[in-house]
Amino acid sequence: SSELTQDPSVSVALGQTVRITCQGDSLRTYYASWYQQKPGQAPVLVTYGKNKRPSGIPDRFSGSSSGNTASLTITGAQAEDEADYHCNSRDTTGKHVIFGGGTKLTVL
Partner 1 sequence: EVQLVQSGGGLIQPGGSLRLSCAASGFTVSSNFMSWVRQAPGKGLEWVSIIYNTINTYYADSVKGRFTISSDSSENTVYLQLSGLRAEDTAVYYCARGALGEDALDIWGQGTMVTVSS
Residues lying near partner 1 in the complex (CB under 8 A)? 30-31, 33, 35, 37, 42-45, 48-49, 52, 54, 84, 86, 88-90, 95-102
Burial class (CB in 10 A: 0-12, 13-18, 19+), 27: buried
Nearer to partner 1, 46 or 77 (CB): 46
Please give the torsion angle defined by the CA atoms of residues 87, 103, 68 and 17, in that order, rounded to the nearest 10 degrees.
100
**Residue 21 three-state SS:** strand
Residue 14 CB, nearest approach to partner 1 (Å): 26
Nearer to partner 1, 43 or 73 (CB): 43
Residue 79 CB, nearest approach to partner 1 (Å): 23
